[in-house]
Amino acid sequence: MKKLKTALLCLLAVAGLQAQTKPVYLDNTQPIELRVKDALSRMTLEEKVKLCTAQSKFSSHGVPRLGIPEIWMSDGPHGVRMEIMWDSWDHAGWANDSCTAFPALTCLAASWDPSMSHLFGNAIGEEARYRRKDVLLGPGVNIYRSPLNGRNFEYLGEDPYLASRMVIPYIQGVQENGVSACVKHFALNNQERWRDRIDVQISDRALYEIYLPAFKAAVTEAKVWSIMGSYNKIRGQYACENELTLNKILKGEWKFDGCVITDWGGAHNTKEAALNGLDIEMGTWTNGFTFSQSNAYDSYFLAVPYLKMLRSGEIPVSNVDEKATRILRLIFRTAMNVNKPYGSLASEEHHNVGRTVAEQGIVLLKNTTGLLPIDASKYKTIAVIGENATRKLTEGGGSSELKPKREVSALQALTEKFGADKVQFSLGYGSGAVSYDKVNKSPYDADKLRKEAVELASKSDIVIFVGGLNKNTQQDSEGDDRRSYGLPFGQNELIAELQKVNKNIVLVMLSGNAYEMPWLPKATTLVQGWYGGSEAGHAIANVLSGTVNPSGKLPFTFAAKLNDYGAHSFGAIAFPGDSIREEYKEDILVGYRWFDTKKIKPLFPFGYGLSYTTFEYGKIASDKKEYTADETIKLSFTLKNSGKVDGKEAVQVYASQPKASVVRPAKELKAFKKVFLKAGETQTVELEVKVKDLAFFNEATHNWTVEPGEFVLCNASSSADVKSQVKIQVK
């Protein structure tokens, strides 16, 4: 009995010892910060440095000795990219990496509906989780400054408030799956041409009022876990190693507790990267773009060169401890998060989400003769013309390329909707094959294609033209910008010819950018369809047929000509720069702020979009007339669906300060809401605007200032269509 008692005591002692020595970092019941601290205390200097560098194209190191896994990343903002080879950009050729292609973010922004953002983010987060990705490289929130920026389709438009409200639920939806969103590109990545070296000169006001708010919302409200730096310089210093944006603003003013990840090859100097806020360096070989040696990952700026500086004392060890802490925090939130769901891939539910977002984002720009919605019973022959009716628009575009499980074209969906016996197709124009770094010529005879299309149009009762841009180089694509504001491949000439032979033409344009419209005066019907992803065709067909009432509104301004944009009104130094330096001379007057303040009439204003029904706005009222700086203004007005079709309207509230000590825009978006009304229904719409959100950034005090005095708040259906206004006083 005594021996048994002794044995039991020994067993209990061993168990107690084991319990005491069990790594806290493995105990998911403990707070993350305690687990991070515990794991960090067990790591060698070499292991801490390893965390900061890539081990393959899309993964960074873990700590194998301690059972801490690596971080796996994936493009992109519109779907989980196909698998890439370990150390080349070639596709891996897997059979199980097909995804749902979700609409481009311009389409999401055009929905003006944060609930769509959450649906989108959660669905793409489920796909990333299923594919065992820890970081999804998106969404993008760079501001639409010029319609020539090849990457605008990845972003959320020209207004910082709209982008801020739309990015928050997207991030929350992704991260509910234990996958980190990685908001990009921080900051001022507003062009692709010379993106790796252009040095942006910008005022503090423009930086804080226009280009940073969506990033700030992502950090301070959505609590995003990672951020990707941009390639360009900001005031002489590369963005991925920038003292101002990374240390002072992101990690200082905003208290960001996540990881800063380079864009691939975005680091340039070991000491600056280490001291100025970079945490994880990703890329290709030693500088992101060239191939040189077999041990290239060890030669990264935050690899062996960083380790040598730490050992020599040139950089304090506390520097790598801070980086490792952030990276471990990211790992515990994602790869070591045992509570995350399993996810799902390319499900019908996800395809339905994609189709719904695409439908909600499609914008009806013109419908003067009531040609839409199309009643197929009125027509015996329907001509579908245009390459974008059949072209795969999930291919190309750079890092946003996708391998969708399915992609329904406009032609396929329109044929299903209206009948194969009625629909005939003609290509009309042709573009070259997809290419990332060169413009490929079309293999087709342009004159022959145009002649065939015009002949078909002349014999058809109605024409549906599906054109616009595509995802080729120098269009909507990473790596280079558009060279012209016009439509490519002779589309303007083709549309003009079609207009001569048929008056019933529905123009459907697919793009992530604005474009010139010389044919607009003769056009009766125009639809902006964006890049709609896997279910793009069904979304287009549902809107054209009236199955869905269009409710999208423009997230950026369509100008009559390129030089009407503020960024293009000051010459090349303002866009695209002189290849070395660029000056944002339009300052805070970006997008509609420029058009409204300078009284330049656009083709279609920011926030504009029609419906198959009509809405009547009542007079806006505030809950009182005087407010202090810490109060909230409560606004209300009636909205009536005065038509015969159920529909949604994105109502908008803009604010202005008639008398200010600094230049202020004619108006600025401060609130919006997507409202559904049945035919004949009236609803009281209630919105709130915080007085502090009426502030401007004061460069003298480096703070936000709300000046006492009069402010005007108006309800509107677009930035150019104000319905009524109310004046309030700020004490």
Strand order in the sheet with 226-229: 54-56, 59-60, 71-74, 135-136, 180-186, 226-229, 259-261
> Which ranges in 276-409 belong to alpha helices (H)?
304-312, 317-333, 348-361
Do residues 450 and 497 lie in contact, with contact meaning Cβ atoms separated by under 8 Å? yes
- Three-state DSSP class for 228? strand
Catalytic site includes residue 445: no
Amino acid code (one letter) for 713: L
DSSP for 278-304 reads --BB--STTTSS----TTGGGGSTTSH
The closest of 144, 264, 93, 94 to 556, measured between CA atoms, is: 144
What whole-number distance in Å separates Cα of residue 665 and Cα of residue 589?
7
Contact 130, 182 (CB under 8 A): no
H helix intervals, 105-263? 105-110, 114-130, 160-175, 204-206, 213-220
Paired tokens of 564: 């009407």
Please report where in the chains the tokens 């939130």 appear, as a residue. Answer: 333
Which of the following is catalytic: 75, 199, 263, 279? 263
- What does the angle CA 190 – CA 195 – CA 199 come to, to the nearest 5 degrees? 85
Q: Are 553 and 119 in contact (CB under 8 A)?
A: no
Beta strands per DSSP E along 603-693: 615-617, 621-622, 626-627, 632-641, 647-656, 668-677, 682-690
List beta partners, residue 374. Answer: none
**Can you tell me the distance from the alpha carbon of 188 to that of 201, in angstroms, rounded to the nearest whole number?**
10
Instruction: Let me know: does 383 contact 134? Beta carbons within 8 Å.
Output: no
Give the 3-state secondary structure of residue 270.
Answer: helix
Instruction: List 616's β-bridge partners, or say none.
Output: 640
Catalytic positions are 263
